[in-house]
Chains A and B, each alone.
Chain A
Amino acid sequence: MAARRRLVSALLVFLCASSVFSGAESQEATLTGGHRAAAVDDPPTDTERAEQAAEQPAVEERRWEATEVEEATPDEAAGEKQDTSAPGTAAPSSAPQPKDDFQEELVVRPLHSGDIYASFQFRTLWETDFTRENKVSHYRLFPKSLGQVISKFSVRELHISFTQGYWRTMQWGQPFLPSPPGAELWVWFQDSVTDVDGTWKELTNVLSGIFCASLNFIDSTNTVQPSASFKPLGIGNEATDHRFLRYATLPREIVCTENLTPWKKLLPCGSKAGLAVLLKSEKLFHSSFHSQAVHIRPVCEDRQCKTTSWELRQTLNVVFDLYTSGQGKREWSLFKMFSRTLTEACPLASSSKIYIDVTDNPQGEQFELSPATALLSQAVVLGDRRTFSVYDLTQQITFGSVRSLNLLIRWKSTEGDMLRPLLHAERYVAGYGLQTGEIHTLMYNNHPYRSFPVLLLDSVPWYLRLYIHTLTVTSKGKDNKPSYIHYQPSKDRLRPHLLEMLVQLPPNSVTEVTVQFERALLKWTEYTPDPNHGFYVGSSVISSLVPSIVAMDTNSTLKRPLFSSFFPCKEESSFFVRIYTEPLLVNLPTPDFSMPYNVICLTCTVVAVGYGSLYNLLTRSFQIEEPSPGLAKRIANIIRKMRGVPPL
């Protein structure tokens, strides 16, 4: 407590010195305002601006560093506690400390539409090597099931997401971690894998078991190897051969409790402590959007990348539609959203924080946040500098006297500017009837003066036969020729169409990509049990480097909030965005499922008519028809024959 008080006073001194503040919380709001003004109004030299930009995070950094110094002891204590509480582990003195680390955080962003976006991120870092000869056998924080998957299948990177609902970019802005509706899985294998397809098949089946999902339906008909869209996010993402990449989506996959439970079990604290206690399925699935993901990748520990470690990032994003469910009152709290309040951080976590996005609420005119926190943080995320109120769950003071934290936001005004994301996209099927159709993909560049390139990836099932020569790309009424097109035609019942292209989006424009297709008639056993519901076509993936308003942080090893550190950033002037369009639902012509026998019989009859008539003509010859004698005459003839008399 004393350390904390010291810290706060030090902060106050600094704030006074910066002559923007005199101390209290209400003035903190002007901090951001003032700095914004400085950033916008002042035309100082670039270096000055850079200094300023660097200065501001430095403040936060200092506070965080201080916090972390302070935390250092409890963390070690926690580690020791863990060791003593688990007597089965080797003596801590002889065995090297497992260099692993667990962080958890929750970001809450009130959306202008009145919805609430909550994003959980849990990160486990482990400095180990899954690929070495003797298998890793001692697991502490890292889930053993995933560790074994990595070493058995020589996985270099694994990204899997399960999503229910569609992220509405136009209303909600960009998510921290994008994901398409349904299930998405993409994996980079090590270069040592010889039979990538076989390994992929096994891996999907194993993951299907781990996550209780229908990932076993991933086969060659929905797997593609994108050539450019999915680069590895971890280390060594330069020289890559896309033969080792597999990407598949199952747009029809329905995500529910049975996927959430195994996902929660991968967390070091399970759902017993920390932020994960909020993850109650009855509330999470009563939402507009739900997405849970697991990302595994190797990352650098330091700037020179001397030591690498494996990062397991579990994320869960959820959008609550509290405005409609709250009977007209725009008010939410942790309890209202998750039917739980927080009482403690996960004891194994080195950091456990809640961030509330207050960027649009500098004066507190939009909403009121309680309990109030003195801690503010800024982070550059998605090309924008955002301000967050921070609640550190490792501090007992956060929970107050009631020993429980129930954040509450009460809205004051109902109006708000609509977020206009720089890049968004939509897709639909045009045309009528069950013979042909046309896929339209619209990509919006809302940047007023900058054009930027986007990579569009389309994976279309084989039963929509694309007429690739009808592909048109138009922006502003003019033909926009893509600078790179990678098209892999489909093979019936073997592989889907893969279309990747690099398109330059002019500033403030809509680019439309259209391609015609023909709907195939399938075998009756290939239809789903509800064939007239239609067939899903996975989302288009649009990956782009969007011009950033503020300088992005290119040092990925710096301590940053988790939500802002997922996509590696190469240059300061742009940031990486991946957006997914809507999946398509396409109807196919259907045969009559009730009459296979009838069809087989009728067609065979026609063939038999052909055979019979030709056989008749081929084998018989023309003869004069003699009138056949009557029955009586024939009997008489038989008798006469027996008698040996010539017939009549």
Chain B
Amino acid sequence: VCFSARSMATTAYLLSITENVKYYLLIFLVTPFALIKKKQKQKKQTRALPVKMAAPLTLLLLVAVTVRAALFRSCLTELIAERVEVVSPLTAWKRGKGAPATPLIIYLFHFLVDYAEVTFMLADVITAVALYMAVADYNKQVFRKQKYALEADRYPLDCLELIRSPKEMYYIPLKVAMFYLLNPFTILCCVAKSTCGLNNAIIALFILTTIKGSVLLSAIFLSLATYQSIYPLTLCAPALLYLMQRQYIPVNFRRFSFWWFIAQYAFMYLGSLFVLVCLSFFLLGSWDYLPSVYGFILSVPDLTPNIGLFWYFFAEMFEHFRLFFLCVFQINVFFYTIPLSVKLKEHPVFLIFMQLAVISIFKSYPTVGDIALYMAFIPVWNHLHRFLRNIFLVSCVLLACSALFPVLWHLWIYAGSANSNFYYAITLLFNVAQILLVSDYFYAFLRREHHLTYGLYLKRKDGSEATLVLK
């Protein structure tokens, strides 16, 4: 059996992709044992994976760049660049010098102003490729872990159908890249020249370097992302967890190695942040940018409508409660980091996904570009789909809201037949849908983990089929 499987596998890679997958499925279902034996072989094959996938990825990149280039040349550019859903005061290209942009971005575009379109397309491509590579690497590890667990017979017997097969995992990196590049939200974001695309690229590079296990680069990119917009600071928790997991450092508060690693990472993170801040100071010659950028993010002085929760809330807020609610809302973003890290200690990549979603829902100036980043991860959680409870409803609401945003905006701003409440209602609904989506994925993830420990077909004491509830 072992021999045949090996030969079949080798031929499978020479055959077309679909056949390959079929064979893999076959191998997988016939004998998990074979997998263990084929350990070394498997390694070689997985390494060959990106090379084989290079052609479809290149095609995807070409399509994405073509779509963007075509839109840049069309008359829609102006229209898209004005959409409040796509650009926030913080990311708007159109605001020019008036925008509270970080000095490095200003400096960057000082040189690249003539190549802005190329830069934004490149940023999207970098994000997509980084996510692709990160997810490919992550899947490899997931697969390996699953293999070890199977070896150790850790899964209950009825859980075989929860085991992930290479077939389903094979296309995931490509799907992630596609979800990011061909997501209308990303395309709009790129065409509007929203600097959100650049922030996404930095975060994607941070994810890639973290997953590749490069501590220094991870810290540098995290500090860059933080420098750009404070909120990615919360991503340091999953990064630490992942890197420690990778280096087999136990998450134990009493262990020296744990604290030593945290100190190292913090040192690298703070060091590069310090360099960035000082560099900005030398570029501008003053510290004025600190209050004008970070004060702008934290104190929300600009109430231009967007898809977030802040604008209307603080436009309608009573002045003497303003500071209190500002603190409540801002803390809300950082608040979930620790409980989520505790709960998802073993699954830092899912934690990254959760954190990105929380940031994009509760940040002060969200745009659709932020949503696009965490939505790119959805294909990674393909295996959770059987546990999702209301994905249909949520996706319908998200789609309907996306369509209604421009409609109600027009009614309010141009036609004058609606007022601000209409637009506000849609932002509320959109955010509820996002919250439901994220919590649904979280629920599904936890449930799958539960099943992997306790078995898929649970029985009550009396032997009847059991239903799982949260208690």
User: Which A residues are closer than 8 A to B by beta carbons?
Assistant: 432-436, 465-469, 489-490, 492-493, 518, 520-525, 589-592, 595-596, 599-600, 602-603, 606-607, 609-611, 613-614, 616-618, 620-627
A residues in contact with B339, CB < 8 Å? 614, 618
CA distance A523 to B413 in the complex (A): 17
CA distance A524 to B419 in the complex (A): 14
B residues in contact with A490, CB < 8 Å? 98
Given the interface pairs A623-B468, A623-B469, the reply to whether A467 lies near B96 with Cβ below 8 Å is yes
Taking the closest CB of chain A, its distance from the CB of B220, in whole angstroms, is 30
B residues in contact with A493, CB < 8 Å? 301
A residues in contact with B467, CB < 8 Å? 624-625
Given the interface pairs A436-B82, A521-B304, the reply to whether A617 lies near B470 with Cβ below 8 Å is yes
Return the CB mask of B445-471 against A: 1 if under 8 Å, else 0.
011001000000010110000111111
CA distance A490 to B96 in the complex (A): 13
Q: Is the interface of A mostly helix, strand, loop or mixed?
A: mixed
The answer to whether A621 and B98 touch across the interface, beta carbons within 8 angstroms, is no
B residues in contact with A465, CB < 8 Å? 95, 98
Give 3 closest A-B pairs by Cβ, nearest first: A613-B439, A620-B470, A599-B316
B residues in contact with A518, CB < 8 Å? 95, 304
The one of A469, A520, A610, A620 in contact with B302, judged by C-beta atoms closer than 8 angstroms, is A520
The answer to whether B82 and A468 touch across the interface, beta carbons within 8 angstroms, is no
Interface centre among A436, A469, A607 (most CB of B within 10 A): A607
Given the interface pairs A468-B98, A489-B98, A613-B439, the reply to whether A625 lies near B315 with Cβ below 8 Å is no
Identity of the chain A residue whose Cβ is nearest the Cβ of B435 in the assembled complex: A610
The answer to whether A468 and B97 touch across the interface, beta carbons within 8 angstroms, is yes
Return the CB mask of B292-325 against A: 1 if under 8 Å, else 0.
0000000001111100010111111111000001
The one of B305, B311, B317 in contact with A596, judged by C-beta atoms closer than 8 angstroms, is B317
The answer to whether B315 and A607 touch across the interface, beta carbons within 8 angstroms, is no
The answer to whether A469 and B96 touch across the interface, beta carbons within 8 angstroms, is yes
A residues in contact with B443, CB < 8 Å? 617
Identity of the chain A residue whose Cβ is nearest the Cβ of B89 in the assembled complex: A465
A residues in contact with B96, CB < 8 Å? 467-469
5 residue pairs from A and B, CB less than 8 Å apart: A434-B412, A493-B301, A599-B313, A617-B439, A617-B443
- The stretch of B231-239, B376-384, B424-432 that contacts the partner chain: B424-432
User: Which B residues are closer than 8 A to A by beta carbons?
Assistant: 82, 84, 94-98, 301-305, 309, 311-319, 325, 329, 332, 336, 339-340, 343, 361-362, 412-414, 419-421, 424, 428, 431-432, 435-436, 439, 442-443, 446-447, 450, 458, 460-461, 466-471
CA distance A218 to B114 in the complex (A): 42
Taking the closest CB of chain A, its distance from the CB of B54, in whole angstroms, is 39
The answer to whether A623 and B471 touch across the interface, beta carbons within 8 angstroms, is yes
CA distance A595 to B450 in the complex (A): 45
The one of A523, A595, A606, A623 in contact with B314, judged by C-beta atoms closer than 8 angstroms, is A523
Q: A435-B414, A610-B362 are in contact. List 19 more A-B contacts (CB 8 A).
A: A432-B414, A434-B413, A465-B98, A468-B96, A468-B97, A468-B98, A523-B317, A596-B317, A599-B424, A610-B332, A610-B431, A617-B343, A618-B343, A621-B450, A622-B470, A623-B471, A624-B458, A624-B469, A627-B460
Given the interface pairs A523-B317, A591-B316, A624-B468, the reply to whether A433 lies near B419 with Cβ below 8 Å is no
CA distance A435 to B413 in the complex (A): 7
CA distance A546 to B166 in the complex (A): 83
CA distance A435 to B411 in the complex (A): 12
CA distance A590 to B446 in the complex (A): 44
B residues in contact with A466, CB < 8 Å? 98
The answer to whether B432 and A624 touch across the interface, beta carbons within 8 angstroms, is no
Identity of the chain A residue whose Cβ is nearest the Cβ of B354 in the assembled complex: A614
Interface centre among B82, B311, B325, B424 (most CB of A within 10 A): B424
The answer to whether B470 and A524 touch across the interface, beta carbons within 8 angstroms, is no
With contacts defined as CB atoms under 8 Å apart, how many contacts are there between chain A and chain B in the complex?
Answer: 148
CA distance A233 to B98 in the complex (A): 34
CA distance A487 to B447 in the complex (A): 59
Taking the closest CB of chain A, its distance from the CB of B324, in whole angstroms, is 11
Taking the closest CB of chain A, its distance from the CB of B466, in whole angstroms, is 4
Identity of the chain B residue whose Cβ is nearest the Cβ of A432 in the assembled complex: B414
Identity of the chain B residue whose Cβ is nearest the Cβ of A596 in the assembled complex: B316
CA distance A617 to B312 in the complex (A): 29
B residues in contact with A520, CB < 8 Å? 302-304
The answer to whether A609 and B98 touch across the interface, beta carbons within 8 angstroms, is no
The answer to whether A592 and B435 touch across the interface, beta carbons within 8 angstroms, is no
Interface centre among A436, A469, A610, A625 (most CB of B within 10 A): A610
The answer to whether A613 and B436 touch across the interface, beta carbons within 8 angstroms, is yes
CA distance A618 to B351 in the complex (A): 12
A residues in contact with B439, CB < 8 Å? 610, 613-614, 616-617
Given the interface pairs A432-B414, A591-B312, A613-B439, the reply to whether A600 lies near B317 with Cβ below 8 Å is yes
Taking the closest CB of chain B, its distance from the CB of A630, in whole angstroms, is 15
B residues in contact with A589, CB < 8 Å? 305, 412-413, 420
Identity of the chain A residue whose Cβ is nearest the Cβ of B423 in the assembled complex: A589
B residues in contact with A603, CB < 8 Å? 309, 312-313, 428
Identity of the chain B residue whose Cβ is nearest the Cβ of A469 in the assembled complex: B96
The answer to whether A521 and B316 touch across the interface, beta carbons within 8 angstroms, is no
CA distance A617 to B443 in the complex (A): 7
CA distance A277 to B174 in the complex (A): 89
B residues in contact with A433, CB < 8 Å? 413-414
A residues in contact with B414, CB < 8 Å? 432-435
Identity of the chain B residue whose Cβ is nearest the Cβ of A487 in the assembled complex: B97
The one of B84, B303, B460, B470 in contact with A626, judged by C-beta atoms closer than 8 angstroms, is B460
B residues in contact with A489, CB < 8 Å? 97-98
The answer to whether A492 and B302 touch across the interface, beta carbons within 8 angstroms, is yes
CA distance A624 to B457 in the complex (A): 11
A residues in contact with B361, CB < 8 Å? 610
A residues in contact with B442, CB < 8 Å? 614, 617
Taking the closest CB of chain B, its distance from the CB of A518, in whole angstroms, is 8
The answer to whether A522 and B315 touch across the interface, beta carbons within 8 angstroms, is yes
CA distance A489 to B95 in the complex (A): 11
CA distance A318 to B323 in the complex (A): 50
The answer to whether A622 and B446 touch across the interface, beta carbons within 8 angstroms, is yes
The one of B309, B315, B340, B469 in contact with A606, judged by C-beta atoms closer than 8 angstroms, is B309
Taking the closest CB of chain B, its distance from the CB of A210, in whole angstroms, is 31
Identity of the chain A residue whose Cβ is nearest the Cβ of B321 in the assembled complex: A600
A residues in contact with B319, CB < 8 Å? 523, 525
Identity of the chain A residue whose Cβ is nearest the Cβ of B98 in the assembled complex: A489
The answer to whether A521 and B311 touch across the interface, beta carbons within 8 angstroms, is yes
Given the interface pairs A465-B95, A621-B471, the reply to whether A524 lies near B329 with Cβ below 8 Å is no
The answer to whether A600 and B313 touch across the interface, beta carbons within 8 angstroms, is yes
The answer to whether B309 and A613 touch across the interface, beta carbons within 8 angstroms, is no
Taking the closest CB of chain A, its distance from the CB of B408, in whole angstroms, is 13
The answer to whether A626 and B446 touch across the interface, beta carbons within 8 angstroms, is no
A residues in contact with B469, CB < 8 Å? 622-625
Taking the closest CB of chain B, its distance from the CB of A537, in whole angstroms, is 17
CA distance A616 to B435 in the complex (A): 13
The answer to whether A523 and B315 touch across the interface, beta carbons within 8 angstroms, is yes
CA distance A434 to B409 in the complex (A): 10
CA distance A607 to B363 in the complex (A): 12
A residues in contact with B471, CB < 8 Å? 620-623
The answer to whether B466 and A492 touch across the interface, beta carbons within 8 angstroms, is no
CA distance A625 to B414 in the complex (A): 54
CA distance A20 to B160 in the complex (A): 123
B residues in contact with A521, CB < 8 Å? 303-305, 311, 315, 420
Taking the closest CB of chain B, its distance from the CB of A531, in whole angstroms, is 12
The answer to whether B303 and A469 touch across the interface, beta carbons within 8 angstroms, is no
The answer to whether B461 and A626 touch across the interface, beta carbons within 8 angstroms, is yes
CA distance A595 to B315 in the complex (A): 11
A residues in contact with B311, CB < 8 Å? 521
CA distance A623 to B421 in the complex (A): 42
The answer to whether B303 and A624 touch across the interface, beta carbons within 8 angstroms, is no
The one of A468, A591, A617, A622 in contact with B315, judged by C-beta atoms closer than 8 angstroms, is A591
